[in-house]
Amino acid sequence: AQSVTQPDIHITVSEGASLELRCNYSYGATPYLFWYVQSPGQGLQLLLKYFSGDTLVQGIKGFEAEFKRSQSSFNLRKPSVHWSDAAEYFCAVVPMNSGGYQKVTFGTGTKLQVIP
Amino acid sequence: DARVTQTPRDKVTEMGQEVTMRCQPILGHNTVFWYRQTMMQGLELLAYFRNRAPLDDSGMPKDRFSAEMPDATLATLKIQPSEPRDSAVYFCASGLGTTLSNTGELFFGEGSRLTVL
């Protein structure tokens, strides 16, 4: 069965510092890969996605993620964190050959705290 | 600005009462999901619809939960009778499925926070 692991439950970074959130997946083939962000009291919003092609993908709010097939990873990065980035971040996978069935598996999330 | 709309945003009820949550997916989307989010369990998939047909409700307690799509603009999640352990935030999400032209992105509503006393 496919699974998504986000090993860091909680991360604290200083404003202006760089950020990397880890995501590893377990699946027989390369799935579609996503990062979502959830601000307090809100639903999840898509940050970026990997479908195919260039393994470094750019998203909204200055985020990027790099797909590494050899490591089954899709880590999220931002060079300089802003206080407004404090939120919970979810990695998600969707099987590429799902026949139209969009079974999404979410990781357990990483809560990001930004300190001045 | 197309978005998924959920009602109610907040609901407090007593154990044993019926609760109905509603969702209006984005116009044109053919997939609808219901998720439950708690601190302990994270995001759990409860039900999944494609073209209004239920395809997967394996994550939903069948004895008290039911999900329907009376039409393409409305999805409902009902709990009867409700129990304190049902207290959670329930999210609806819609999308266009995974095809050659769509990669499975989901659009989430803001959630319905349910508290069962």
Q: Residue B11: its pLDDT value, please? A: 97
Question: Which has the closest alpha carbon to B47: A80, A104, A12?
Answer: A104
Q: How far is A19 from chain B (nearest CA, A)?
A: 23
What would the pLDDT profile of B40-78 be if each residue is shown by its tens digit? Answer: 888 999 999 988 999 888 889 889 999 999 999 999 999
Residue A98 has pLDDT above 90, yes or no: no
Chain B 11-70, residues with CB within 8 Å of chain A CB atoms: 31, 33, 42-43, 45, 48, 50, 55-56
DSSP B47-83: EEEETTEEEE-TTS-TTTEEEEEEETTEEEEEESS--
Q: Residue B40: its pLDDT value, please? A: 87
What letters, b where the CB count within 10 A reaches 16 and e where it falls short, cover A82-98? eeebbbbbbbbbbbbeb
Q: Residue A56: its pLDDT value, please? A: 95
What would the pLDDT profile of A4-55 be if each residue is shown by its tens digit? Answer: 999 999 999 999 999 999 999 987 777 889 999 999 889 999 999 998 888 9
How many angstroms from the chain centroid is the CA of residue B21?
8
Residue of chain A nearest B110, judged by CA positions:
A43
DSSP 3-state helix, strand, coil percentages of chain A (rounded to 5)?
10, 50, 40
Give SS3 for A85: helix
Are A34 and B105 within 8 A, CB to CB? yes
Contact B117, B12 (CB under 8 A): yes
Are A102 and B56 within 8 A, CB to CB? no
- Whether A27 and chain B come into contact, CB under 8 Å, resolves to no
How many angstroms from the chain centroid is the CA of residue A30?
15
Give SS3 for B31: strand
Mean pLDDT: which of A25-29, A87-91, A105-109 is highest? A87-91
Which of A90, A96, A100 minimises the CB distance to B97? A100
- Whether A40 and chain B come into contact, CB under 8 Å, resolves to no
Contact A87, A113 (CB under 8 A): no
Q: Residue A90: its pLDDT value, please? A: 96
Contact residues, chain A, for B97 at CB < 8 Å: 100-102
**Better pLDDT: A38 or B106:** A38
Contact residues, chain B, for A34 at CB < 8 Å: 104-105
- Whether B2 and chain A come into contact, CB under 8 Å, resolves to no
What would the pLDDT profile of A59-81 be if each residue is shown by its tens digit? Answer: 999 999 999 999 999 999 999 99
Q: Residue B32: its pLDDT value, please? A: 92
Residue A97 has pLDDT above 80, yes or no: no
Residue B2 has pLDDT above 90, yes or no: no
Residue B100 has pLDDT above 70, yes or no: no
Q: Residue A77: its pLDDT value, please? A: 98
Which of B4, B55, B93 minimises the CB distance to A101? B55
Contact A62, A48 (CB under 8 A): no
